[in-house]
């Protein structure tokens, strides 16, 4: 596990100091509590910002933005997302070509990307508008899927790219190259390439390492490999990874951030590089990333204490601790 000391890398902890005049709010109304918060959030923002736009159907609006991106003059200064990590990925994808500083207020189960606990929304937004919020520039993945006939499709991912077999078929054989260097062949259920942000998503469930999200690197994690010697790797961010489908007995798909499923077949290749433009997520100041990871993953680090005894330094799950690293 690689984590950064929150007290030292100040050069990486730039504050979001911008005159916020145009705010766009994306809400997932299907989540409990979102509509109740909107009733308070909207007048709060309208008192402080000249232009506030609210989209109650987050996914429908993001589909429109993907096909009809806004003009540069129409972009907001700030995006606020009311939802979970899936909502965050949807919004980031919609603004993939025109990144906008984005703050996520969590109504989901975990909240690695939507980092602000819902009960703390007011203080978090106040910090943003006061110029105290931290900018977390997130590395993204740029992918090109090249078919054996020579056709290609391009995609971007904030979290991960997953080449995986169908549910009712056997293992497949995948090759991995870094540029012109052969790395290995994998006989497995699939292969994950994750960004540092995505290291706590599918890759972690498959046994991959946890990376601090502000660092650079590509995580390569096999899914249920036949050879136990095939372990997850963290490779240089400038690596040009190429995954080739050598032999598959049925359906193979490429999943992009758990969305956009593309079919693959023998002879197809997936080329993955770091995207040249970072995406700016916002977080609260004065962070402790170790507290956040303990809370999000349920780590206790000790035996269960006796009833009524509070462990030193232990905080409530509503503490929003670790905001500056958004783990």
- The set of catalytic residues is 85
The sign one gets for the Cα dihedral 171, 172, 177, 180 is positive
b/e sequence 285-309, b meaning 16+ C-beta within 10 Å? eebbbbbbbbbbeeeeeeeeeeeee
CA 124, 127, 132: angle at the middle one, nearest 5? 135
Residue position matching structure tokens 């293992």: 171
SS3 288: coil
CA dist 314 and 298 (Å) reads 12
Residue spans of beta strands (DSSP E) within 87-189: 102-106, 116-117, 134-138, 141-146, 152-157, 160-165, 172-178, 181-188
């Amino acid at each position: 596990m690689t984590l950064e000391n929150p007290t030292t890398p100040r050069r990486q902890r730039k504050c979001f100091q911008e005159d916020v005049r145009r705010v766009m709010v994306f809400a997932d109304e299907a989540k409990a509590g979102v509509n109740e918060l909107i009733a308070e959030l909207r007048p709060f923002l309208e008192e402080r910002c000249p232009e506030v736009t609210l989209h109650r159907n987050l996914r429908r609006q993001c589909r429109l933005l993907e096909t009809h991106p806004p003009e540069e003059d129409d972009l907001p200064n700030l995006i606020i997302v009311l939802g979970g990590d899936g909502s965050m990925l949807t919004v980031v994808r919609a603004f993939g070509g025109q990144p906008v500083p984005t703050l996520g207020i969590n109504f989901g189960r975990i909240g690695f990307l939507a980092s602000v606990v819902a009960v703390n929304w007011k203080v978090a937004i106040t910090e943003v508008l006061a110029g105290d919020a931290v900018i977390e520039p997130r590395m993204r993945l740029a992918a090109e899927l090249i078919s054996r006939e020579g056709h290609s499709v391009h995609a971007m991912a904030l979290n991960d790219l997953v080449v995986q077999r169908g549910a009712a078929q056997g293992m497949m054989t995948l090759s991995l190259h870094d540029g012109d260097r052969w790395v290995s062949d994998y006989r497995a259920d699939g292969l994950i390439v994750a960004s540092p942000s995505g290291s706590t998503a599918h890759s972690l469930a498959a046994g991959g390492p946890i990376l601090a999200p502000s660092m650079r690197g590509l995580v390569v994690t096999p899914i249920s490999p036949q050879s136990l010697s095939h372990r997850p790797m963290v490779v240089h961010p400038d690596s040009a990874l190429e995954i080739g489908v050598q032999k598959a007995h049925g359906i193979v798909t490429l999943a992009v951030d758990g969305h956009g499923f593309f079919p693959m077949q023998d002879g197809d290749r997936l080329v993955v590089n770091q995207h040249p433009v970072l995406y700016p997520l916002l977080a609260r100041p004065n962070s402790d990333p170790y507290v956040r990871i303990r809370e999000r993953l349920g780590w206790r680090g000790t035996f269960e204490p006796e009833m009524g005894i509070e462990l030193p330094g232990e905080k409530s799950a509503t503490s929003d601790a670790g905001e500056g690293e958004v783990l």
